[in-house]
Amino acid sequence: MAALKANCRKVMCIGRNYADHITELNNTRPKNPFFFLKPTSSILPPPHDNTPIHIPRNVNVHFEIELGIVIGKPAKHLRIPGSLQDDDATTQALHYVKSYFLGIDLTGRNVQEAAKQARLPWTIAKGFDTFLPISEEIPKEKIPDPHNARIWLKVNGKTKQDDNTNLMLFRVPRILKDISRVMTLEEGDLVMTGTPKGVGPIKAGDRVTAGIEVDGKEIEEGRIDIGVEDAPEGGYDFAKL
């Protein structure tokens, strides 16, 4: 929905939050939630009939399906007592959650790797226009427990990612607490909770579909169906840097 983009001041993304995804990219498991920002200009709200993903020239773009959170009220220096893994902590954290969405965190993988090798930030790899396709807003009551939802992604009808959010290393209370210690989460902000294993490339001509299920039932608002095209001429070209 366009409203999610219009009301969002920042997009917070949690990296390396599923063990198998860490392994597949040969990354180090973090001791604490690891987060980064995507620009709001990267958000691509539905409907996606005439708004495809754009692939910048000579960029190896990877998909990463994720459960997203819409912040419902300001959260600053959250204090959630007790274990951040128990049900009480989840209940307290959910007071700050307005709703959910499904999102595809697109990454220019070769751009990211080059930045890592040079010990530079990799904002470019995450920040291109159209690099965050999202679903419609999912009412909070349709996902009673954000740690028990099946999320999946297909490319041209072939399943690439399919896992349960119960595999998150850091659950929602810890995610919100740690972010709020650094920067205030404001009403309308979006939080991406990390991607499971199976990330991989897409190219012009592909069709990407994604969805979310709770208790074996697909949530209609969480459906994504989007095409992929080459970006218009005259923009970024990794080969010319």
User: What is the layout of strands, in order, in the sheet containing 11-15?
Assistant: 34-38, 11-15, 190-192, 65-71, 97-104, 138-139
Per-residue pLDDT of 57-115, as tens digits, reads 999 999 999 999 999 999 999 887 655 555 666 778 889 999 999 999 999 999 999 99
Per-residue pLDDT of 194-207, as tens digits, reads 999 999 999 999 99
What pLDDT is stored for residue 182 in this prediction? Answer: 95
What pLDDT is stored for residue 207 in this prediction? Answer: 98
What pLDDT is stored for residue 26 in this prediction? Answer: 82
What does the CA dihedral 158, 36, 177, 75 come to, rounded to 10 degrees? -100
What pLDDT is stored for residue 232 in this prediction? Answer: 93
Task: Give DSSP secondary structure letters for 108-151.
Answer: EHHHHHHHHHTT---HHHHHSTT-EEB-PPEEGGG-S-TTS-EE
Per-residue pLDDT of 125-135, as tens digits, reads 999 999 999 99
Q: Which residue has the higher pLDDT, 187 or 86?
A: 187
